[in-house]
């Protein structure tokens, strides 16, 4: 990383156009750009992407900006702050940078956040990132939890960082859904000012996220990540190439029919679907969208024009809903057979004036889980205060403990968070499968199990109130 001893730009810490737009209700379009691999010449990469930035700046009728992702392809990409500084020499207070903990160390994240500020980028979204394959020798590749990135970004009362977080509402079993929302509320407690919903096409789930926030008196700006599909990208999603991103069987059938026609006809159908989706998101209370897949400068201009048209075409929620039902032929967007929603009366109205909580019960804890939980509380209640070697055999037997230098079992329902492939202690990532399984293992997500046990022991509030520090 380049030296950050001097500020490259001087900027007014109180002036932030992105913050003013989101909190002022100015619907904003963000277009994703990925940093190149480190073996690519950065000057060549920025020159190649200059027309994309010019197209974003040329969008008419709506506020628009760039969203620069981090470590999307892997860890060997240019540092997001350094790359964004070369790509975006002006108007840095209106753009958005994703800062990922994927395969990173804590000091790397600190350096990146310092670089963001030193270059004048005040707006970041903290993300954990997708899983990486095991390192040589089978060692797990560590991740810095998005919650820890948030804490680093906003530490100090005078930090100018405007920090957002990610959440995936697209979870379709109770423990997976609630574990996402409990972690989201913890993120707001520790500094998040807005949320970005991860990619998905189920607008009922998009509304579920908004209603959940409103039911908790959390009236923060919300963005939704929207993917423009090509036949190739749709096939990759259907094959599971993007953890936590699903296409329902009905949606896949629609895309399969559309792909039988010409590419121009397929893309025309996707543009119309994008119009319906973004217009619906605006009516549901979202402050903007982060668009991925607009891979050509002309597509950015087309997206801006079509979205502006759609927002004028659909000013009323009920009219939009009726037209969208016809357009989608009432397709089921949940990944059958999994179809859990936190509220029962979603889509009855745009805003949550009378939300009715679902009566669907949590998945039950089996007898063996309950027995282990009782024994663990009886024998390991003081584990956090004792040395790492104390009661190690019992920890391994009851909780599968790998021998952590700092024990956190009493804070996690006696389920060791180091059993998570990313080592996340404060809640799940967004990559779990529709059935609640981990994105990398054919077993239940560790945090879904913790949530089920917390429900059984009537300790659910602890999942959003208690910060659990990472191990050294």
Q: Are 386 and 400 in contact (CB under 8 A)?
A: no
Residues 177 and 271 in one domain: yes
How many structural domains comprise the chain? 2
Looking at the domain assignment, is residue 45 inside a domain? yes
Residues 385 and 243 in one domain: no
CATH number at 265 reads 3.20.20.220
Residues 49 and 162 in one domain: yes
Which of 327, 352, 375 terminates a domain? The answer is 327
Looking at the domain assignment, is residue 261 inside a domain? yes
Residues 244 and 298 in one domain: yes
Looking at the domain assignment, is residue 61 inside a domain? yes
Q: Are 161 and 121 in contact (CB under 8 A)?
A: no
Residues 414 and 322 in one domain: no
Looking at the domain assignment, is residue 3 inside a domain? no
Residues 211 and 82 in one domain: yes
C-alpha 315/C-alpha 87 separation (Å) is 36
Residues 323 and 381 in one domain: no
pLDDT of residue 201: 97
Looking at the domain assignment, is residue 361 inside a domain? no
Residues 303 and 381 in one domain: no
Looking at the domain assignment, is residue 348 inside a domain? no
Residues 78 and 169 in one domain: yes
Looking at the domain assignment, is residue 189 inside a domain? yes
pLDDT of residue 339: 95
Residues 131 and 206 in one domain: yes
Which of 298, 327, 356 terminates a domain? The answer is 327
pLDDT of residue 95: 98
Could you check whether the bond before residue 337 is cis, i.e. omega within 30 degrees of 0? yes
Looking at the domain assignment, is residue 168 inside a domain? yes
Residues of the chain where predicted confidence (pLDDT) is lower than 70: 1-14, 73-75, 133-140, 157-158, 385, 387-389
Quote the domain boundaries for residue 180.
Answer: 18-327
Residues 318 and 395 in one domain: no
Residues 148 and 206 in one domain: yes
Task: Kindly report, residue by residue over 257-315, the tens digit of the pLDDT.
Answer: 999 989 999 999 999 999 999 999 999 999 999 999 999 999 999 999 999 999 999 99
Long-range contacts of 350-353 (CB under 8 A, 24+ apart): 350/207, 350/283, 350/284, 350/285, 350/317, 351/210, 351/214, 351/285, 352/210, 352/211, 352/214, 352/215
pLDDT of residue 68: 97
Instruction: Indicate the pairing of strand 194-197 with strand 162-167.
Output: parallel
Which of 327, 343, 358 terminates a domain? The answer is 327
pTM comes to 0.93
C-alpha 446/C-alpha 437 separation (Å) is 9
């Amino acid at each position: 990383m380049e030296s950050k001893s001097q500020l490259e730009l001087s900027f007014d810490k109180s002036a932030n156009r992105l913050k003013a737009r989101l909190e002022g209700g100015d619907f904003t379009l963000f277009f994703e750009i990925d940093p190149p691999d480190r073996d690519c010449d950065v000057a060549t990469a920025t020159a190649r992407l200059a027309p994309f930035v010019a197209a974003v700046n040329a969008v008419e009728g709506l506020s628009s900006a760039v969203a620069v992702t981090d470590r999307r392809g892997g860890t060997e990409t240019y540092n997001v702050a350094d790359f964004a500084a070369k790509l975006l020499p002006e108007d840095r207070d209106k753009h958005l940078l994703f800062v990922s903990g994927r395969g990173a160390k804590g000091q790397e994240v600190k350096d990146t956040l310092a670089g963001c500020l030193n270059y004048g980028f005040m707006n970041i979204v903290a993300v954990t990132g997708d899983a990486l394959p095991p390192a040589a020798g089978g060692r797990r590749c560590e991740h810095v939890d998005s919650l820890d990135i948030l804490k680093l970004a906003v530490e100090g009362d005078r930090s100018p960082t405007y920090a957002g977080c990610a959440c995936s509402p697209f979870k379709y079993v109770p423990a997976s859904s609630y574990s996402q929302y409990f972690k989201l509320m913890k993120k707001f407690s520790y500094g998040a000012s807005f949320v970005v919903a991860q990619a998905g096409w189920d607008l009922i789930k998009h509304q579920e996220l908004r209603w959940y926030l409103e039911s908790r008196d959390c009236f923060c700006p919300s963005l939704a990540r929207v993917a423009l599909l090509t036949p190739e990208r749709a096939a990759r999603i259907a094959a599971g190439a993007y953890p936590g991103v699903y296409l329902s069987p009905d949606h896949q059938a629609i895309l399969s029919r559309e792909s039988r026609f010409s590419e121009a006809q397929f893309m025309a159908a996707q543009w119309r679907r994008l119009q319906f989706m973004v217009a619906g998101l605006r009516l549901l209370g979202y402050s903007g969208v982060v668009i991925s897949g607009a891979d050509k400068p002309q597509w950015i201009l087309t997206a801006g024009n079509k979205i502006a048209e759609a927002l004028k075409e659909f000013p009323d929620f009920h009219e939009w809903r009726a037209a969208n039902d016809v357009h989608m032929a009432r397709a089921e967007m949940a990944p059958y057979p999994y179809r859990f929603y936190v509220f029962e009366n979603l889509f009855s109205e745009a805003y949550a004036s009378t939300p009715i909580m679902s009566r669907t019960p949590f998945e039950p804890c089996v007898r063996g889980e309950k027995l282990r939980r009782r024994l663990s509380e009886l024998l390991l209640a003081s584990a956090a205060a004792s040395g790492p070697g104390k009661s190690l055999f019992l920890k391994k037997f009851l909780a599968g403990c790998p021998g952590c230098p700092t024990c956190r079992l009493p804070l996690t329902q006696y389920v060791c968070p180091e059993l998570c492939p990313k080592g996340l202690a404060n809640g799940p990532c967004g990559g779990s499968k529709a059935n609640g399984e981990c994105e990398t293992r054919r077993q239940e997500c560790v945090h879904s199990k913790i949530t089920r046990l917390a429900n059984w022991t009537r300790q659910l509030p602890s999942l959003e109130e208690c910060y659990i520090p990472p191990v050294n």
